[in-house]
Structure 1
Amino acid sequence: MDNLCDINVIKDVLGRHSFTFSKALGQNFLVNPTVCPKIAQMGNAERGFGIIEIGTGIGVLTNELAKRADKVVAVEIDSRLIPVLEETLSEHSNVKIINDDIMKVDLHRLIQEEFGGLQVAVCANLPYYITSPVIMRLLEERLPIRSVTVMVQKEAGQRLCAKMGTREMGAVTVAVNYFSEPKLLFNVSRGSFMPPPNVDSCVVRFDVRENTPAGVTDEKFFFKTVRGAFSQRRKTLVNSVSASLGIDKPKAAEAVKRSGLEENVRPEKLSMEQLIKFSEELKTICGL
């Protein structure tokens, strides 16, 4: 069904299935017909690829993905949408819908069982409330995927794709840069949705790195250090890490010195290499 962005069609389909929008699930369905083709095109939906879609809505993006990719496996948490999707996606034999929570699905097993011989990418229009947890799970599990292309709240997208060493970066910026190369693709106005959310959105893509940055001997400690460093953004690196991680200030200061950094440096001024160096020095000084 190609007219799934038509408001009258949406109302008709949802009405016949007695569907009402769930605020708890952050449901906002796309009505701008130009958005999903662009997501599919920029999100590696092409021959030779299998696509994991997270959250289907009524199948607007699913439809575009299925036209281009060899196979689409869509994970949708709302069981009320399953009969809707059976209608709107009936023409596509290469689509499989899984009614489950993406945070509970065994993604390694899913990829192995559903996409044999295909390259894999992820595409999604994510509810704002689960943006970071979903993205970080996809990246941290080191899944055999090429890219993750998602629509997120504009402010969140700008933070995710901020340049290292700038004021806009945060702990999540470091994390996505560690596992991938993030890129902001295009903006999407709030009027592109039904019902319209209170904020604008954007589409971002994370091209997964074959190898993560060198020098990290303990990823758990590295990310703990990063979270601590950015937990109090107005403070210096020494004060923030000392306060958030419970590390003596002299030890934090010594780690800064050994890393070749200025005494009063702030976390947002650091590159990935400098953060890794600082984390390793801090780990050594603290005997961890």
Structure 2
Amino acid sequence: MKTSDWLKKYNIQLKKSLGQNFLSTSEYAKKIVKKGSVTEEDTVIEIGPGAGTLTEEIAKTGAKLYAFEIDERLKPLLLERFKEYQNVEIQFIDFLKANISEIQKPKYIANIPYYITSPILEKIFFETPDFQLALLMVQKEYGERMMAKSGKNYSPLSIFVQFFCKVEKVLNVPPHAFIPNPKVDSVVLKLTPKEDIPDINKKGFFKFVHVAFSQRRKTIRNNLKGLIKDRLDELLEKSDIDPKTRPENISIEKFIILYNNYMKLKNDY
């Protein structure tokens, strides 16, 4: 039965407030699962199964699947659709509130609305640091921000994601693959954890990066002057950064050096 038929059967109207654009074609669901090399040996976490199009393709692999769905209206639909699958466990709870810390070495697969992408990433990175990979379907523009190395799309989000992971685009997904059709294209990004994550205060570092980007059109010197006034020039010189450089032109590696030098100067006080 098609996803559209499942929705009609249970008379479910999708909610814009939850960013609900459900993948509706098995063609793209199969491609996504293939990109994750999912096998029966894997444990998969799906965030927001929706009407279950992608869920079904994951379930067919035999992998142990934990799916988290916030919209309880979908409960009868999903329970019926997956009643024959012993390897599927669906929890009707907000993923951001779910206890996932005991799930070991999961693969993540998710079609997520852009407005909660950052908190979802934070939960993945901090609560399951041993995850194998994450395949995230996001709006194209948001995906470009996650992948950017410099320039107008480069942002604290870019640095946050690339600090933890190698990021690559593995699939383009057109609007007609969803119900209802969104106005923008989507992309599937593959996030693979880095083995050599710098040993620094991560939350402190990301807070520092946000300050550095507080006014994008300003120079790094202007944005940081509130943090370390009297030794700012010394900090930038020590970090080999031109004071007139804008934050969008500073690499992640340079930001890490800058932050480490900032902490050393701060501890000297």
What amino acid is the match of 2:256? I
**Of the candidates 75, 83, 103, which is equivalent to residue 82 of structure 1?**
75
Write the distance in 2 (CA, Å) between the matches of 1:62 and 1:56: 6
1:79-228 superposed matches below 5 A: 79-109=72-102, 111=103, 119-163=105-149, 165-214=150-199, 216=200, 218-228=201-211
TM-score, length-normalised on structure 2? 0.92
1:211 offset after TM fit, Å?
3.3
Write the distance in 2 (CA, Å) between the matches of 1:86 and 1:232: 48
Write the distance in 1 (CA, Å) between the matches of 2:163 and 2:19: 28
Identity %: 36
Contact 2:26–2:54 (CA<8 Å) still a contact in 1?
no
1:81 offset after TM fit, Å?
0.7
**Of the candidates 219, 224, 237, which is equivalent to residue 220 of structure 2?**
237
Alignment-derived partner of residue 40 in structure 1:
33
Contact 1:121–1:148 (CA<8 Å) still a contact in 2?
yes
Write the distance in 2 (CA, Å) between the matches of 1:69 and 1:181: 27
2:268 matches 1:285: no
Contact 1:39–1:149 (CA<8 Å) still a contact in 2?
yes
Contact 1:54–1:126 (CA<8 Å) still a contact in 2?
yes
Paired residues, number = 268
Contact 2:43–2:65 (CA<8 Å) still a contact in 1?
yes
> 3-state SS of the aligned residue for 2:190?
strand
What amino acid is the match of 2:100? L
Gaps of 5+ in 2: none
> 3-state SS of the aligned residue for 1:36?
helix
1:178-197 deviations in Å (ceiling 9; x for gaps)? 11111111221222211122
1:173-222 deviations in Å (ceiling 9; x for gaps)? 111111111111122122221112232211111101233135x3x22221
1:69 offset after TM fit, Å?
4.3
> 3-state SS of the aligned residue for 2:26?
coil
Contact 1:120–1:145 (CA<8 Å) still a contact in 2?
yes
1:166 offset after TM fit, Å?
4.1
What amino acid is the match of 2:233? A
Gaps of 5+ in 1: 113-118
Over the aligned positions, Cα root-mean-square deviation in angstroms equals 1.9
**Of the candidates 234, 248, 254, which is equivalent to residue 234 of structure 2?**
254
